[in-house]
Amino acid sequence: MRRNTVFITEASLATITLIGLNQLWYADYPRSNFKALNDSEEWLQMDKMGHMFSSYQLGRLGANTLKWAGVSKKDQLIYGSTLGFGFLTAVEVLDGFSEEWGFSWSDMAANTLGSGLHIGQELLWDEQRLVLKYSFHQTEFAKQRPNKLGSGITEEFLKDYNGQTYWLSANINSFLKTETIPNWLNLAFGYGADGMLTGEANDPLFLNQNRKRQYYLSLDIDLSRIETNSHFLKTLFDVFNVIKIPFPTIEMNDDGRVKWHYIYF
């Protein structure tokens, strides 16, 4: 019963979301014949990090939901972990028929990496030792291009790549197998970018961009590894485990400069 409910619910939500995107988002732009584009160099690859993160997290959600429904491990990986890849592939096809965008092979590569990270760890370790997470802080750049980077924190959270950081959060004890380190403590490696007003570095309308990559080293907490007997807290921890917990952080830019953050979001 649970299994059928989960399958029907996931299929229905995916279908409704795609129909909604087609009617509410793509309807504002002219349709075209299917086309592909090469956007691999845009936004210092921050948009690709977003694709990989989304594919991983949707796959994690799909697999965990099927696990709750009592589905076999094999089917969890086939039908759950690939949820993100399947959904984002459908979105990519919609992009391909839009005059404004196009089908992106680099987006598809990022989607594949995200799903592969989840599936690979389940096959190798039967657990997620490496978790993709997200953090965000507001920047000055959204105010300069609110139509592109968002107006207000809700839009900026999704659109302003300057304020986004994507993290690979590694559970320390899963690798070291020691009792001296809490099971929930992680070491996190982050990637971000700054100074971007447009996707392209040589946009003639924005020649004074000071674009730079940023690399981070910090601690994190794997909320899913905190022991509790409360089903409510377990669910809550699992939901919020997509967000990197703020900690003191070391930042290094691609120009070699090092910066210390007492707390980094």
User: CB–CB of 190/218 below 8 Å?
Assistant: yes
Banded pLDDT at 240 (limits 50, 70, 90) = very high
Rounded average pLDDT over 111-133: 97
Question: Is the confidence at residue 224, as pLDDT, over 60?
Answer: yes
Alpha carbon separation from 27 to 20, 103, 105, 113, 201 (Å, rounded): 10, 17, 23, 30, 29
Q: Provide the pLDDT for residue 223.
A: 96
Tens of pLDDT, residues 13-67: 666 666 665 655 666 678 888 999 999 999 999 999 999 999 999 999 999 888 8
Q: Provide the pLDDT for residue 23.
A: 59
Alpha carbon separation from 48 to 2, 9, 67, 234 (Å, rounded): 34, 28, 28, 30
- Helix or strand (DSSP H, E) at 113: helix 105-124
Nearest to 65 by CA among 225, 229, 224, 235: 235
Q: Provide the pLDDT for residue 208.
A: 78
Q: Provide the pLDDT for residue 29.
A: 72
**Residue at 51: amino acid letter:** H
Residue with the bigger pLDDT between 30 and 102: it is 102
- The model's pTM is 0.91
Residue with the bigger pLDDT between 61 and 202: it is 61
Q: Cα–Cα distance between 126 and 128 in angstroms, integer?
A: 7
Nearest to 104 by CA among 50, 23, 176: 50
Question: Is the confidence at residue 73, as pLDDT, over 60?
Answer: yes
User: CB–CB of 251/258 below 8 Å?
Assistant: yes
